[in-house]
Structure 1
Amino acid sequence: MKRILTFKQKLVLTYVVLIVLPMSVLGMGAYLLYSDTMEKKVSDFVQQVAVSTASNLEMYIRELEQFTLMPYYNKEFQDTLTDDSPSPDPLHALEVKEEIEKTFSFWQSQRDSVEKITYFSKPGSGEQRVYSTGFPYDNLKAEDAPWDERAFSASDRILTYLSLHQLANTGYAQRTEPTHVFSLIRKIYYSSTMMETAGYMQVDFTLEDIGRIMNRINREENGSFFLLDQERRVVFASQPIDEGVLEHVVGQPETAPHAPQIVKLNQQNKILVRHPVGKMGWTVVGYVPVSQLVSGIANVRNSMILIGLVCIVLAIMITTTISHRMTRPIYKLIGLIRRVEAEDFQIRYDDPPRNEIGQLIRSFVRMSGRLDETIRHLYQAEIVRKDSELRTLKSQINPHFLFNTLETIKMKAEIDEADATVDMITALGKLVKSSLHAGKDFMTLREEQAYLLNYFYIQRNRYGSRFEMTMDVDEELMDLYIPRMLIQPLVENAFYHGLEMKQGRGRLSVAVSKEEEAVKIVVADDGLGISPERLQQIRSRLDGGTLKPSDGDDNIGLVNVSARIELYFGSPYAMQIESKPGEGTEITLLLPAITSESEVERYVSRYHRG
């Protein structure tokens, strides 16, 4: 069986999807963007380190170039150094050699990285001489130097460079560990012309200063850097070099781009940079394993995942709480609906929420209350209608009134002429005929007036001039319809409860007028009136909706009239009672102005529907 999700479950699921999915997409996008940005920044940083290192090395080489200019700072020494004329005195030649090499040693002491200074006279120009610090060379000539003397001599260059090489061993001592040096070779000119080459001065430098420059950048956060020469030999490396990196760099042509590259070596990605050092023909090479970079990014990723999980848990908790608060009134409303389905209309909902659901709940509670009121109203209306029909069948004229009327007719027949008796019997017949006619629910004011005039005629014959009775109806209102025998019970109530027990002459008036779109009927008497307590009881009974008259009720006429107005017309049409003890009572009826029988049928249908 297919499971149906509840509204609350759907709401929570929707919230979770709308929160988790965007957060996941944004988180993944942010992580990838951060990874790419970090990779680019690291690549740029490593490239800047390589460029900066190359620049420092070039500055260092320029300092060394300045060092090779030392012979030119002393013209006398320059002349002595470049003197290649034969010496007749061997002892003097030895003294000159010692003086020159002593000067070389002094220069060497000025810079720790200077390993050796050697001077070669130019071949083919006078006596061949070699001056050198340290152990002397036996039979060493310029042609035997590791640099190409002929090519250098023929070129326009005044300075050449010799990359990493080993110092030549002397014949007097054998070095246990060869010293690796690089050399700068400068042409030395005769001081007289400064145009003709007299010889060459070779200065050999150790890698000590190079090591200090390289060690400043060979840190874990910077990656690993090393120095290559033109022949792809490692000049300096403070750390073991990854064989894959070395093979890759050596295998690349010199024209390879110097921009950062990401290469895969030994199943591992590496960021590789390179930058030339200039005149020496060296290249600074640096590389950073991507795994080293990813390790930092992984921490960021893990932190983002943790934060994302916390946010998701909080989102689920918040959405569950919100959905519970949103659906709780709905479930309560469902409970109220089930109570109404079980015919329990007495429902309440205290403090509904102030939103659309709250409006729905308030509307439903009001609807239920009105439905309950309507049902009770229908029930009471049905009772009133049945009771009214029963009473109509029996009679709507008080037996006491009929008895007194017959007594009057009897007395009148004894003392008066037969004509008066006939008139009274005729008037009584019309009354009885009208009161017992149950076929019509409405009559015109003209018919109601005729009925009341017959009633007044009988009462005048009974009481003589004791009461003054008047009826004032505008002629334009005569054809308007009102419920049948609506005024007569009020008139009869005025006689028997207000005027009959009054001492002296009494007055009763019926006035019918039009007030805006309604008909106003006022029945007033100057009889005994009604006490405030009794008047309050009557009003409460009429206003409280207790419309069913009971047997023996001395206000049956008032209740019957009020009930019929309520059932026929409803609000705002009603009956009002005003009374003061000793001054009289005034009853006001406010009815709709009904001008046609079609309107009558509409109100009759409303009455029979309740």
Structure 2
Amino acid sequence: MRYWNDMLLKTKMFVAFSVVFLLTVLLACTILYVKNVNDTKDQTYALSSTITKQFSRTVELYIHEMEAMSVTIFGDPLVQRNLLDHYETDNAVEQNQIELSLSSRLYTLIHPQPKVQSIYLFTLDKYAYYVSRSSGPKLTDSLEGEAWYTGKAYDYRSKFLLLPTALEDVSHADSPKVISFVRSINRIPSRTPIAFMKININVNVFEDMLVQSDNNEMEKNMRVFILSDEGRVVYDNRHELTAGTLPALSMPMLKKGKSSELTWNGAKYLYSSERSAYTGWNTVVLIPNEYLLAQIKRTQLILILVGLAAVLLIAVVSYILSHHITIPLHNLMKKMNRVEQGDFSQRMEVKGNNEIGRLSRIYNDMLGSISRLINEAYQSRLAEKDAQLSALQAQINPHFLYNTLNIMKSISRVKGIEEVAEMSESLAELFQYSMKNLQHPVALEDELEHIRCYMNIQKHRFFDRFELQSDIPEELLQASILKLTIQPLIENAIIHGLGKKKSGGVIGLRVRCTQGILLIEVTDNGRGIDGQKQQELRSQLRAPILSTGVDQETRGIGLQNIQQRIQLFYGEPYGIGLMSIPGEGTTVKLEIPYLLPADGKGRDTHEYISGGG
């Protein structure tokens, strides 16, 4: 590990890339090989499953057709009448006429079906009528000679039978192999069994149903069987096991999965099976694995060649790539050493938008930020000293004015000029209130006292042109608010709302507490604010907090100043809301948290507790 840590980055990258890429290629080749084998099997399963389902469905449709033909025979009035006449006569001539009539009728029905070999009608009194396409002799004379018949006619009244493939004439080996469709013929409308029909179908009918392509290697090698649940072979596409049994295979094994693998006669097969609930037969398709092996071997050879070529290419690419990455890093290290010595002019050349380019850009931006912060820190120290001098000067002026106003008040009272004394006293209290720390919260009643002094002065200026109407619950007088947050709103209402109103002006001050929020509303019935001006004011209220002194001085302690002070102290969810209707008036809403002084005195303290809503 120590040797690895001491290696150069270029060497580490070359070794690491080569090993990782080699393992990746080997893993990818293995996965591709396995996936190719699995995909080939899945495709084979899918194709064989499709062939199985299509073939099974085609067989079902043909048996449906045979059932439809049997229903035609069942319901044919001529057949019904002749069968009933059979039971009512013993005359040989009449019996012969019945046989001719039925044969003619059955031949008419068998003619459109080229694969129907013969049709038998068995009466319940041991007699058989028949018609055969080959015009051969009658192979059975009565129902008793049929192995499938149990002797109870009512057992077959509502169903049909499909008999496995067998020779039509067991006495002749070259007789055609047939499957038999058997059902009862019931009397209409009583549904009483009066006869049975057996339709013998040439097994070669399945040959036409199974459409195979000579160009498809899989279809040329696959085996297709139709099996009964007992394992009898109804059909074999190679005609080797038709009418026999399937050695070494059992239906329970085939039913374990509709698509799987098995070994038969020493060879491995992929198989798919489909059981028809309608016919009761099982369609099985066996596909030998041999035809898959050639494709898999070709794929294996291609993957080996591709893997070797990829390993060689990766080794070359990893060396070039590692060399390309380490050169810019080496240059960056040299420039950082120069910066460490105090040379902030060192910059990287940015090439492209890749990782190295972004790193170079970030490095350049970092140096620019460091230089800017150093300059800002220097300027901030200068500004701080200027602010301290301004603050000292600002403290001197209010104290001087406050002392001068008290002298004016004393002289006015001595000389009997009470109005001047009263104005001087109110103005002195205004200055005394504003000289305290502006960011220290006070009780609501202190802010109201400040408003009272302000209104005393305004009454001497405007006389009875407006009045202040207050609606403040007594329990809210100790609520904590910032200084100079309500009085500027009253001032705005007088100057901007009622300034041109000659009489009847009303300023409303309403305070409420709801769900822990102290809501203060200042309303006036003045001229209101037009829409454009409202938009400008709302934009100013949403503007970022001011950080310098010049702009703030020009704005004074207006709406934006109050908004910024509230959000700095309480947080951004609180502040000022504005609503105005031109010609009717303006409402300014102030929302702050409802807090009470923690010490119970409520005067100029930083400790507060939350009040109830």
TM-score bracket for this pair, using the shorter chain length = 0.3 to 0.5
TM-score, normalising length from structure 1? Answer: 0.46
What is the TM-score with the length of structure 2 in the denominator? 0.46
